Structure 1
Amino acid sequence: MANIHPYGCFTHAVVRGIPESFGELAEGGEGFQTDLAKAQRQTGMLTGALRQKVGLQLIEIPAVSELPESWRIEDVAVIQGDTALITRPLKQQRRAEAEAVRRVLSELKLTVVEMGDEEGGSGGATLEGSDVLFTGKEFFVGISKHTNHRGAEVLADTFKDFAVSTVPVCGGSRLKNICSMGGPDTIIISSSDGAKKTLRVMEQLTDHHYEILSVPEDAAANCIYIRGPAKVDFLLHPTAEECPNSIPVSNRVCTVNAVTSRRIINNTSLFRFYHRFVSS
């Protein structure tokens, strides 16, 4: 495997099943309203789309009930080219999620870098993949309650060929709740005031030009652009039912082909389907 050329080319997708404990939060959280059957059904729709429509090789990791947030598989690894950084989630319980992902990435012959087990409370490094946006040219790392500056420093030490900039997460709990890549050189971002503040910092820090597409619904800012093995472009995005005012923007981003992904949680701000793509 080599670096992403052009941006968004993938060969594999790694997904993790929805556990019976779905909706609970690690370490005694109160949880949130969920529909387990619906979540599992929609995850099946997503995996079918990734395999049959996009044409990716799909690797499915079984669900583990003891790890209620393990379906957020994106959080435990950051992958660029041949290198995979195993992250260090904020919650101690979530760090056990990395074991199965680490095994899969090793089987895919990636160079696996461990973030380490340094301690020290808030002084220790924490990093979750949903706070990391790779644009194809550089990394933006959102500083949030999940990710701190030390975690961003570890990422920068791992991917030395790319600039790494830290930005405040002003409009959501995670950076990718408010922005994502809609294609090469294109950033889709929420139109909320908080997201606009984050965008201004990003624009001040970057040396590159990006087309900015603002979407009216916050959920619509969380998309995934894929250039599949058959060289066809796909944009995974919320459905028209969920984000009716943002669909025209989504159509502008990816005009060749599109697959819609559905949110799997009701009555909450957007949670993406957390899956990790391995680049070709």
Structure 2
Amino acid sequence: NFAEGITTSNLGKPGFEKALEQHSAYCDALKGCGLELIVLDADERYPDGCFVEDTAIITSEAAVITKPGAESRMGEEAEISGILSEFRKIEAVKLPGTLDGGDVLRVENHFFIGISGRTNMDGARQLSEILTKYGYTASVTEVGEGLHLKSGIAYLGEGNFISIEGFSRISGSRGIIISDIRESYSANCLRVNDFLLIPKGFPESKKKIIELGYNIIELNMSEFRKMDGGLTCLSLLFI
């Protein structure tokens, strides 16, 4: 029931078999980056359940279980909490706070928290207070257009970002600013160890990323894009 999830993309229905192929390639890429994977069984109650990033924020000290901002996604976090409790101390955002992990951008030891249609000020405040307990800093920024903060910006490491123009207030002059709206989807990249996973089909962004010296792995994300998903959405990294 993947195609029954929430989307604003107007790109048509995703092909289920093609989505499975792309997800398999994604998992293979993560393994190729040196990761061990925990792959969860599908839960038919949650069509958006593959986008596990939204359910938790993980640091080396704790896992903060979120409270998804879309009503149809509330409950996804319960299974994730049980799994993460085997590896991390559990903290949690509570209602009336809402928070999607896609609105949280980590830059070294600072966390930018986006206020969006899915993440409210109370959720951002709770997360900030939890992170502060563990020695991190946090700040709040408005997402404006777009689903999540990380729909339009990624931290690549080494002080570099890739972002749409609207988030240049975060990235400044460090890295890549995407001025061509046709390439805006390429702002959602995923750094894993010495590799950078990027979405396939965005030649200008790819060229600029290579010029910065990153080892790239290019993946076709067409079916997940149809459901407002990207590279960061499909995994939770233990860091």
Alignment TM-score, normalising by the size of structure 1: 0.76
Q: What does residue 9 of structure 1 align with?
A: none
State the Cα distance separating 1:32 from its structure 2 match: 5.3
Q: Distance in 2 between matches of 1:213 and 1:269?
A: 25
**Identity over the aligned pairs, expressed in percent?**
27
Among 208, 225, 230, the residue aligned to 2:191: 225
Say if 1:25 and 1:69, in contact at 8 Å, map to a contact too.
Answer: yes
Among 197, 200, 218, the residue aligned to 1:236: 197
Distance 1:157 1:167, change over 3 A: same
Distance 1:86 1:269, change over 3 A: closer
Q: In structure 2, give the amino acid aligned to 1:56.
A: L
User: Which has the larger displacement, 97-106 or 141-150?
Assistant: 97-106
Q: Distance in 2 between matches of 1:267 and 1:188?
A: 18
Say if 1:218 and 1:269, in contact at 8 Å, map to a contact too.
Answer: no
Q: Distance in 2 between matches of 1:143 and 1:245?
A: 29
SS at match of 2:191: strand
State the Cα distance separating 1:31 from its structure 2 match: 11
Among 12, 17, 35, the residue aligned to 1:37: 17
SS at match of 2:29: helix
Say if 2:115 and 2:140, in contact at 8 Å, map to a contact too.
Answer: yes
Mapping 1:152-191, distance limit 5 Å = 152-160=124-132, 161-191=135-165
Q: Distance in 2 between matches of 1:210 and 1:163?
A: 22
Among 175, 179, 182, the residue aligned to 1:212: 175
Q: Distance in 2 between matches of 1:78 and 1:267?
A: 22
Say if 1:143 and 1:166, in contact at 8 Å, map to a contact too.
Answer: yes
State the Cα distance separating 1:268 from its structure 2 match: 4.2
Among 103, 117, 139, the residue aligned to 2:82: 103
Q: What does residue 113 of structure 1 align with?
A: 91
State the Cα distance separating 1:99 from its structure 2 match: 2.0
Distance 1:65 1:114, change over 3 A: same
Q: Which structure is higher in helix share?
A: 2
Q: What does residue 71 of structure 1 align with?
A: 50
Q: What does residue 10 of structure 1 align with?
A: none
Provide runs of 4+ in structure 1 moved above 4 Å. Answer: 266-270
Q: What does residue 247 of structure 1 align with?
A: 206
Q: Deviations over 1:113-167 (max 9, x none)?
A: 1223x3xxxxx21100000001013111111100011111011111102221111
Say if 2:67 and 2:98, in contact at 8 Å, map to a contact too.
Answer: yes
Among 112, 116, 119, the residue aligned to 1:147: 119
Structure 2 unaligned segments of length 5 or more: list them.
none
- Equivalent residue pairs, number: 229
Q: What does residue 22 of structure 1 align with?
A: 2
Q: Distance in 2 between matches of 1:267 and 1:222?
A: 11
Q: In structure 2, give the amino acid aligned to 1:139.
A: F
Q: Distance in 1 between matches of 2:216 and 2:108?
A: 21
Q: What does residue 275 of structure 1 align with?
A: 235
Alignment TM-score, normalising by the size of structure 2: 0.88
Q: Deviations over 1:38-92 (max 9, x none)?
A: 11111001111111x1110110011111110101100000111121100001123
Structure 1 unaligned segments of length 5 or more: list them.
1-20, 119-123, 204-208, 228-232
Distance 1:166 1:141, change over 3 A: same
